[in-house]
Structure 1
Amino acid sequence: MMAESEKKTRTPLWMRGLLLGSLALNLAVAGIVAGGLWRHGPERFEPPRGRDFVTPYTRAFTPEQRRELGGQLRARFERGRDERPPPFADYRQALDLLRREPFDRAGFEAALAAQDGRAAARQQMGQQVLAEYMAGLPPAARAAYADRLQEDLDRLIRRIEKARK
């Protein structure tokens, strides 16, 4: 009898995978670490939009700087771990709202807004870590970083202009 009720409440594997992917995307948006991973991925044509503005900044770091900054970001996220809801709590709430009859549009919008607010807070934390890291760099290292950032932005602009032609 219990196994039958567990089957009804169990989330399908594909849904769990989708939720995990979505969570990873939220963290990437906020994370400097994700920018480092993107550095090794395929070249991007599109200009940074929305929360993706951080990508050019992270691409300009050396691999060593990226590791160091990623460690600082992870440490900062760990410090706030107790204040965050359990993993997937936002999605579980959204799933509950999606299954409810009648559909609670206002409740669903509030759940999405709460998720977005937490993502924005993670992004702001990432920005603070980035600013602190940059403030701690010696002038020569900061200037070298600025040169790499300029080269990357110039390359991105050329690719965008070429793609538009």
Structure 2
Amino acid sequence: MSDPSGEHKAPRRGARGLKIALGLSLGLNLLIVGLVVGAVTSIGSGRPMGDDDPRLRSLGLGPFAIALPRDERQAVTDRIDRAALRADRREMGQAMADLRAALLSEPFDRAAAEAALNRSRDAASAAQGQGHRALLDHLETLDATERAALVERLGRALRRMGGRDGGR
């Protein structure tokens, strides 16, 4: 089609790349916000849990979210320092906002993006470390029979998750 004004406008350079970056940024922001809000609001909410507790998975305890009985999952989450966990999740959110800014910068600011990703990784690692400590504190309270029963349930949980990790 022709321009009714009779003027020919040159296509803007980088407009397509900017649209892609904005779309990716929006998707990433929605994912992070959903994860952070869901995790922060679910810990200590008293909501009933199914077989698989996302609160424990978000703390790096994948198969234990399935293998631990409900009361033991609650015992683990009760050991979590909620204020520290919220701080870690806030840091992850801020790091993602900083990553978004780095993605939108022209030219691309690799150093800022790398710093944001490193901060996000460190905060996620701190949250997982807290989950691991809470799990170990709980496991320490179990007697040999309870630990053996947990090992059996853990084996079933790992088989159940086999489709995700190739059965290993």
Q: Which TM-score bucket, shorter chain as reference? A: 0.5 to 0.7
Does 2:76 match 1:63? Answer: no
Unaligned 5+ segments in structure 1 are 1-11, 42-50
RCO higher in 1 or 2 (8 Å CA, sep ≥ 6)?
1
Aligned residue type for 2:116 = A
Report the TM-score when normalising by structure 2: 0.59
The TM-score normalised by the length of structure 1 is: 0.60
How far, CA to CA, are the matches of 2:79 and 2:123 in structure 1?
Answer: 19
**1:148 & 1:77 partners in 2: Cα distance?**
27
SS of corresponding position for 1:148 = helix
Matching of residues 1-165 of structure 1 within 5 Å: 17-23=30-36, 39=52, 54-73=61-80, 76-79=81-84, 88-157=93-162
Higher helix proportion: 1
Q: CA deviation at 1:144?
A: 1.5
Tell me by how many angstroms 1:71 deviates.
1.9
Q: Is contact 2:96–2:117 with CA below 8 Å preserved after alignment?
A: no
Task: Report the structure number with the largest CA radius of gyration.
Answer: 2
**Structure 2: which 5+ runs fail to align?**
1-22, 44-48
**Which stretch shifts more, 147-156 or 98-107?**
147-156
* Percent of paired sites with the same residue: 23
Quickly say closer, same or farther: Cα 1:151–1:81, change in 2 above 3 A: closer
Root mean square deviation, CA, Å: 4.0
Partners of 2:88 and 2:124 within 8 A in 1 = no
Offset at 1:134? 0.1
Paired residues in the alignment total 133
